[in-house]
């Protein structure tokens, strides 16, 4: 029987070589291009997606190991782009080129899911695997703090 | 004109018109393997999606419902130009920014110069784009006046409306769109006064960030077309080397691989150096297959290149008399009468731009068409080179300028697009070529490796009386003239015209032959000039027991060149501002292991000063705060300008502390971000940006912020610890 994988709530048959990293299955097979290629070695975080809610680097995660698992990409993080992090990203005008930002947001969402009120040090520690060459780190930090505040008010 | 070498490919000699191209280029249907989203303007190009908008001029389309599209001709790579310039258009047009959609213009001379570099976009296009907006406004007012049968003088425009002064009636821009199209285009328009600006000088959000945060923004790497094939490439590791033997058996045996293609060298400036590409049904397979190619290279003469030894040689070349470039006054006399003398040598390594999006494009060459979707800083150069290669008119090469995921100067050189075109010409299919990170790092156009030696004399009061400045670096000119053995005098002008007041100066050029491709890297030569000038000034100040701020002010005050007085005043003002906003004036109260360093540099016609506050523990340098002051004339987007300075601090910190490209036996040693350690969030200081309110014409923003960081950091570390760093990066990985 064909193996399948759930991406943003939708079931897809894994009809590629099982060694293919999830990144390329998403980008080249399914045209989910929001997830970016940056280094191919898990060094930059541009390809970050969620596996059952946890941030993973899709460029080094073979698709074969993900049968019946649930993947969320930036396209599926929220229905209307209204995740508190996405809103905080807009309010702080975080993106410059924006290429790394999907990975940054997905990584931050994974952080807030387990730690709703991270300290500055915890933000640094969680986000240190995500590179931004444009240098938007100050705004990323601020946006994550703002989103945590929003979540705290909702709670 | 140089010619392209090797071409085993069949050439179609047709020179086709744009019209014939449009007619011939139907969109393939059926057989879709993957979901396909064709960019909207491609559809319009092909006449599939009718463009009902009234074109008021090249930059402005106005629809019957008032929706306004403003085209940006300059390339967007994150510097925010596609927000700043269209906002200036909207301002003069009295358009409501909420009703404006920005589109990136394809390669087309109607947009003016599109090559995007040198921090020049706003400087070059501010006036023309404002005029485009003002002309559209005048056409809308003329149309309304005609409807009301009154003089245009009795009308004014505001918020997407034209208002009748006599009876307060209004017509919307949508009402007027088709009428305004037929209004005469005014030859001259009066631009708005600063006090009337709606958007210029305010804080604007990037026009498309709502697409970015949901992953819908399409970058060069994201283009999907029907029948798209994917390619990966490997280049000869040594510049000038050639393919000697290729065994593609193992690569071809991989499932999904369709072909292996030998890419010729393009003997044009910024041309591909050639390589071997693999085509497959996805990028990953193509990248894997490249690893399975068995290639023997004839490495060529640059195999002698080792940066460690080369840098030592550059140092030797500047620590002895070199070739005279320029001279003023009598430096020997100044040195003989000196009360104080000091000398120092500064170095820097090669840098790779390493934008997060590696080089990528999609190219589809067909018998009578060639269409390109690329992250690029130079669409016209793609047209020129591919036109030449395919023997077609440059205007027959359709170039869609994609959003670039960072560029920093690298994507001005579109070798990766040439390669995709060669592949597509052979396969007949649209080709997406994405360079691996390793290829991106190893086949670059690198920032010059460099050495500078400065000797200065001072009198008893600490006035600098003589300045000998020797610089050695392989220059960008070597791309066009590889035989250059040293940087020509004219390229050392930034030293000669530096704003410091030194009556007696000699500038010499040390030998530095290029062994790799040298290119513009964000801030270019200002990186090492800024480092040498502002660090040496600090060393001089220390030598005569003065503080940096008063010493540099004295250096500026000693400049009697009348033509430079305005610049000097602006440089001094930003330096004072950065110092005032930092803890500079109370620096003696800081903990013993903390210090503040200052630096100011004038580049790309802007003035930027930084006050960097550090804490030093042993070899560990922690940057706590950065206060950055900039005078870039009239600011278009305050938030965008602030963001550029924040980003410049980060890039400045990477190159000051850790990033360097090293060569061994002619090949780049670095491979990926593990051995090219760019700055991460953990090192981010608190950055405060202070922007001068200025009525001067707008000047550069993308680059000038980079230069002052490294010297300010060196000066701060010295203040905190007494240790002086003179070599960039301070902490090289491959020492």
Tell me which chain A residues have a C-beta less than 8 angstroms from the C-beta of B209: 89-90, 93-95, 98
One domain, residues B512 and B643: yes
One domain, residues B328 and B293: no
**How high is the pLDDT of residue B54?**
83
**How high is the pLDDT of residue B36?**
33
Q: State the Cα–Cα distance between residues A71 and A53, nearest whole angstrom.
A: 8
One domain, residues B346 and B382: no
pLDDT surpassing 60 at residue B153? yes
Measured between CB atoms, does A42 come within 8 Å of chain B?
no
Kindly report the CATH number assigned to the domain that includes residue B239. Answer: 3.30.365.10
* B35–A130 CB contact, under 8 Å: no
Measured between CB atoms, does A16 come within 8 Å of chain B?
yes
Query: Considering B172, B204, B236, which residue would you say is the last residue of a domain?
Result: B204
Q: Are the beta carbons of B433 and B277 closer than 8 angstroms?
A: yes
pLDDT digits (tens, 9 = 90+) for B496-518: 999 999 999 999 999 999 999 99
Considering only alpha carbons, which residue of chain B is nearest residue A141?
B681
What is the domain partition of chain A in residue ranges? 4-75, 84-154
pLDDT digits (tens, 9 = 90+) for B612-657: 999 999 999 999 999 999 999 999 999 999 999 999 999 999 999 9
Nearest to A133 among B284, B406, B681 (CB): B406
**How high is the pLDDT of residue A2?**
80
Nearest to B406 among A74, A134, A138 (CB): A134
Measured between CB atoms, does A20 come within 8 Å of chain B?
yes
Burial class (CB in 10 A: 0-12, 13-18, 19+), B206: buried
Q: State the Cα–Cα distance between residues B230 and B424, nearest whole angstrom.
A: 10
Q: What percent of chain B has pLDDT over 90?
A: 92
From B689, B690, B632, select the one nearest B123 (Cα to Cα). B632
Residue B414 backbone dihedrals phi, psi, to 5 degrees: -105, 45
**How high is the pLDDT of residue A90?**
98
Residue B336 backbone dihedrals phi, psi, to 5 degrees: -70, -25
Report in angstroms the alpha-carbon separations of A42 from A39, A49, A56, B223.
Answer: 7, 12, 9, 23
In a domain, B213, yes or no: no
**How high is the pLDDT of residue A134?**
98
For chain B, what is the domain count?
3
Q: Are the beta carbons of A109 and A50 closer than 8 angstroms?
A: yes
Question: What's the CATH code, domain A4-75?
Answer: 3.10.20.30
pLDDT digits (tens, 9 = 90+) for B387-404: 999 999 999 999 999 999
pLDDT surpassing 80 at residue B87? yes
* A101–B212 CB contact, under 8 Å: yes
pLDDT digits (tens, 9 = 90+) for B298-354: 999 999 999 999 999 999 999 999 999 999 999 999 999 999 999 999 999 999 999
Tell me which chain B residues have a C-beta less than 8 angstroms from the C-beta of A127: 681
* B212–A81 CB contact, under 8 Å: no
* A38–B358 CB contact, under 8 Å: yes
User: Is the bond into B729 cis (omega within 30 degrees of 0)?
Assistant: yes
Q: State the Cα–Cα distance between residues B603 and B527, nearest whole angstrom.
A: 10
Residue B146 backbone dihedrals phi, psi, to 5 degrees: -65, -40
Average pLDDT of the segment spanning B367-391:
97
* B217–A40 CB contact, under 8 Å: no
Secondary structure (DSSP) of B409-439: TGGGS-HHHHHHHHHHHHH-S-EEEE--HHH
**How high is the pLDDT of residue B7?**
38
Nearest to A86 among B213, B403, B680 (CB): B213
Provide the pLDDT confidence category of residue A75 given band limits of 50, 70 and 90. Answer: very high
One domain, residues B498 and B623: yes
Q: How far is A72 from chain B (nearest CA, A)?
A: 12
Query: Considering B173, B204, B235, which residue would you say is the last residue of a domain?
Result: B204
Average pLDDT of the segment spanning B263-287:
96
pLDDT surpassing 90 at residue A130? yes
Q: How far is A92 from chain B (nearest CA, A)?
A: 9
pLDDT surpassing 50 at residue B178? yes
Measured between CB atoms, does A100 come within 8 Å of chain B?
yes
Provide the pLDDT confidence category of residue A1 given band limits of 50, 70 and 90. Answer: low
pLDDT surpassing 80 at residue A9? yes
Average pLDDT of the segment spanning B128-143:
97
pLDDT surpassing 80 at residue B433? yes
Give the largest Cα separation in chain A, rounded.
Answer: 49
Query: Considering B434, B466, B500, which residue would you say is the last residue of a domain?
Result: B434
In a domain, B696, yes or no: yes
**How high is the pLDDT of residue B396?**
97
pLDDT surpassing 80 at residue B553? yes
Q: Are the beta carbons of B256 and B280 closer than 8 angstroms?
A: yes
What letter would DSSP give residue B12?
P
pTM more than 0.90: yes
* A135–B646 CB contact, under 8 Å: yes
pLDDT digits (tens, 9 = 90+) for A16-47: 999 999 999 999 999 999 999 999 999 999 99
Q: How far is A155 from chain B (nearest CA, A)?
A: 24
**How high is the pLDDT of residue B4?**
41
Task: Tell how strand B686-691 and strand B620-631 pair up.
Answer: parallel
Measured between CB atoms, does A107 come within 8 Å of chain B?
no
Measured between CB atoms, does A95 come within 8 Å of chain B?
yes
pLDDT surpassing 60 at residue B568? yes
Q: What percent of chain B has pLDDT over 70?
A: 93
Report in angstroms the alpha-carbon separations of B643 from A142, B79, B205, B476, B611.
Answer: 14, 9, 11, 28, 17
In a domain, B215, yes or no: no
Block residue for tokens 């080179």? B385
Provide the pLDDT confidence category of residue B268 given band limits of 50, 70 and 90. Answer: very high
Average pLDDT of the segment spanning B595-606:
98
Nearest to A101 among B213, B651, B684 (CB): B213
Q: State the Cα–Cα distance between residues B459 and B340, nearest whole angstrom.
A: 6
**How high is the pLDDT of residue B50?**
41
pLDDT digits (tens, 9 = 90+) for B22-74: 232 333 322 222 223 333 444 344 443 344 578 999 999 999 999 999 999 99
From B251, B267, B287, B218, select the one nearest B418 (Cα to Cα). B267
Cβ count near B433 (within 10 Å): 29
From B623, B700, A118, A76, select the one nearest A140 (Cα to Cα). A118
pLDDT surpassing 70 at residue B11? no
One domain, residues B702 and B585: yes
Report in angstroms the alpha-carbon separations of B163 from B148, B171, B197, B404.
Answer: 10, 7, 18, 41
Tell me which chain A residues have a C-beta less than 8 angstroms from the C-beta of B437: 38-41
Q: State the Cα–Cα distance between residues A39 and B301, nearest whole angstrom.
A: 30
Provide the pLDDT confidence category of residue B735 given band limits of 50, 70 and 90. Answer: low
Average pLDDT of the segment spanning B527-552:
98
Tell me which chain B residues have a C-beta less than 8 angstroms from the C-beta of A20: 282, 284-285
In a domain, B200, yes or no: yes
**How high is the pLDDT of residue B52?**
59
One domain, residues B401 and B535: no
pLDDT digits (tens, 9 = 90+) for B36-48: 333 344 434 444 3
From A43, A40, A38, select the one nearest A20 (Cα to Cα). A40
- Close Cβ partners of B310 (under 8 Å, ≥ 6 residues apart): B449, B515, B663
In a domain, B36, yes or no: no
Q: State the Cα–Cα distance between residues B636 and B634, nearest whole angstrom.
A: 7
One domain, residues B663 and B680: yes
In a domain, B581, yes or no: yes
Measured between CB atoms, does A130 come within 8 Å of chain B?
yes
pLDDT surpassing 60 at residue B14? no
**How high is the pLDDT of residue B675?**
98
Tell me which chain B residues have a C-beta less than 8 angstroms from the C-beta of A104: none
Q: State the Cα–Cα distance between residues A129 and B251, nearest whole angstrom.
A: 33
Q: Are the beta carbons of B46 and B364 closer than 8 angstroms?
A: no
Tell me which chain B residues have a C-beta less than 8 angstroms from the C-beta of A102: 212, 215
Interchain CB contacts (distance < 8 Å): A and B: 192
* A96–B215 CB contact, under 8 Å: no
One domain, residues B629 and B713: yes
Take residue B690 and report the two structure tokens written for it.
């202070």
One domain, residues B586 and B487: yes
Tell me which chain A residues have a C-beta less than 8 angstroms from the C-beta of B610: none
One domain, residues B175 and B57: yes
Cβ count near B146 (within 10 Å): 15
One domain, residues B489 and B342: yes
CATH 3.40.50.2300 fits A84-154, yes or no: no
From B222, B198, B78, select the one nearest B137 (Cα to Cα). B198
Mean pLDDT for chain B overall: 93
Q: What range defines the domain where residue B636 resides?
A: 307-351+446-728
Take residue B701 and report the two structure tokens written for it.
């923003």
Block residue for tokens 């930036």? A74
Measured between CB atoms, does A30 come within 8 Å of chain B?
yes
pLDDT surpassing 60 at residue B569? yes
One domain, residues B283 and B405: yes
Distance between alpha carbon A120 and the CA centroid of its chain, in Å?
Answer: 20
Q: State the Cα–Cα distance between residues B494 and B529, nearest whole angstrom.
A: 8
Block residue for tokens 């502390």? B657
Please calculate the CA angle B478-B482-B486 and round it to the nearest 5 degrees.
60
Mean pLDDT for chain A overall: 97
């Amino acid at each position: 029987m064909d193996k399948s994988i759930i991406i943003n709530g939708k079931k897809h048959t894994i009809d590629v070589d099982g060694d293919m990293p999830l990144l390329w299955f998403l980008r080249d097979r399914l045209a989910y291009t929001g997830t970016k290629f940056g280094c191919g070695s898990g060094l930059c975080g541009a390809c970050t997606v969620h596996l059952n809610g946890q941030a993973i680097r899709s460029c080094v995660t073979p698709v074969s190991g993900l049968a019946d698992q649930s993947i969320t990409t930036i396209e599926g993080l929220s229905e209307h782009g209204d995740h508190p992090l996405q809103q905080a990203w807009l309010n702080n005008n975080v993106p410059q080129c924006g290429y790394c930002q999907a990975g940054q947001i997905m990584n931050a969402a994974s952080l807030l899911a387990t730690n709703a009120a991270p300290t500055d040090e915890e933000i640094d520690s969680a986000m240190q695997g995500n590179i931004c060459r444009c240098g938007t780190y100050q705004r990323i930090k601020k946006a994550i703090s703002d989103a945590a505040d929003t979540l705290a008010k909702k709670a | 004109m140089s010619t392209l070498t090797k071409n085993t490919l069949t050439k179609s000699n047709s020179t086709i018109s744009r019209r014939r191209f449009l007619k011939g280029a139907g969109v393939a249907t059926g057989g879709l393997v993957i979901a396909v989203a064709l960019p909207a303007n491609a559809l319009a190009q092909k006449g599939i999606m009718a463009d009902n908008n009234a074109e008021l001029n090249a930059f402005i389309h106005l629809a019957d419902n008032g929706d306004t599209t403003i085209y940006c001709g300059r390339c967007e790579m994150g510097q925010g130009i596609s927000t700043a310039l269209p906002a200036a258009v909207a301002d003069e047009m009295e358009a409501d920014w909420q009703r404006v959609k920005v589109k990136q213009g394809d390669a087309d001379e109607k947009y003016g110069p599109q090559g995007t570099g040198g921090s020049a976009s706003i400087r070059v296009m501010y006036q023309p784009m404002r005029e485009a907006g003002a002309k559209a406004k005048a056409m809308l007012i003329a149309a309304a006046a005609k409807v009301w049968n009154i003089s245009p003088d009795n009308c004014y425009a505001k918020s997407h409306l034209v208002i009748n002064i006599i009876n307060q009636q209004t017509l919307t821009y949508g009402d007027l769109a088709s009428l305004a199209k037929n209004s005469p285009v005014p030859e001259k328009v009066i631009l708005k006064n600063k006090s009337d600006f709606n958007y210029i000088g305010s804080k604007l959000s990037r026009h498309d960030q709502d697409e970015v945060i949901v992953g819908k923004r399409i970058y060069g790497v994201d283009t999907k077309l029907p029948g798209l094939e994917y390619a990966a490439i490997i280049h000869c590791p040594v510049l000038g080397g050639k393919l000697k033997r290729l065994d593609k058996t193992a690569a071809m045996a991989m499932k999904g691989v369709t072909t292996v293609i030998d890419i010729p060298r393009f003997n044009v400036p910024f041309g591909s150096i050639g390589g071997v590409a693999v085509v497959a049904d996805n990028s990953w397979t193509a990248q894997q297959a490249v690893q399975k190619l068995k290639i023997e290279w004839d490495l060529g003469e640059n195999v002698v290149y080792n940066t460690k030894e080369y840098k030592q040689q550059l140092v030797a070349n500047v620590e002895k008399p070199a070739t005279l470039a320029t001279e003023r006054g009598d430096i020997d006399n100044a040195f003989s009468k000196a009360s104080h003398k000091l000398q120092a040598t500064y170095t820097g390594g090669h840098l790779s731009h390493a934008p997060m999006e590696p080089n990528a494009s999609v190219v589809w060459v067909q018998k009578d068409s060639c269409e390109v979707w690329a992250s690029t800083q130079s669409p016209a150069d793609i047209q020129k080179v591919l036109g030449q290669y395919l023997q077609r008119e440059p205007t027959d090469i359709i170039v869609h300028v994609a959003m670039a995921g960072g560029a920093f100067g690298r994507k001005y050189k579109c070798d990766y697009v040439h390669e995709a075109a060669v592949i597509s010409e052979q396969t007949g299919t649209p080709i997406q070529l994405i360079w691996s990170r390793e290829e991106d790092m190893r086949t670059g156009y690198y920032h010059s490796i460099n050495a500078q030696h400065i000797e200065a004399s001072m009198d008893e009061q600490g006035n600098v009386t003589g300045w000998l400045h020797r610089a050695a670096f392989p220059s960008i000119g070597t791309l066009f003239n590889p035989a250059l053995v040293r940087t020509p005098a004219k390229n050392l002008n930034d030293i000669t015209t530096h704003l410091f007041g030194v009556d007696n100066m000699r500038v010499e050029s040390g030998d530095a032959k290029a062994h790799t491709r040298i290119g513009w890297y964000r801030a270019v030569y200002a990186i090492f000039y800024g480092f040498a000038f502002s660090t040496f000034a600090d060393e001089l100040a220390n030598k005569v027991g003065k503080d940096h701020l008063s010493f540099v002010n004295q250096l500026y005050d000693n400049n009697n060149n009348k033509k430079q007085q305005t610049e000097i005043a602006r440089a001094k003002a930003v330096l004072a501002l950065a110092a005032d906003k930092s803890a500079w004036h109370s620096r003696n109260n800081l903990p013993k292991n903390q210090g503040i360093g200052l630096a100011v540099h004038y580049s790309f016609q802007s003035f930027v000063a930084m006050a960097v506050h550090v804490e030093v523990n042993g070899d560990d340098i922690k940057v706590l705060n950065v206060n950055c002051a900039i005078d870039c004339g009239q600011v278009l987007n305050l938030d965008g300008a602030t963001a550029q300075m924040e980003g410049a601090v980060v890039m400045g910190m990477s190159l000051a502390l850790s990033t360097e490209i090293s060569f061994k036996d002619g090949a780049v040693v670095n491979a990926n971000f593990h051995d090219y350690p760019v700055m991460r969030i953990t090192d981010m200081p608190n950055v405060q940006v202070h922007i001068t309110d200025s009525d001067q014409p707008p000047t550069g923003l993308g680059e000038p912020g980079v230069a002052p960081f490294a010297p300010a950091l060196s000066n701060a570390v010295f203040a905190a610890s007494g240790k002086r760093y003179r070599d960039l990066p301070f902490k090289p990985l491959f020492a």
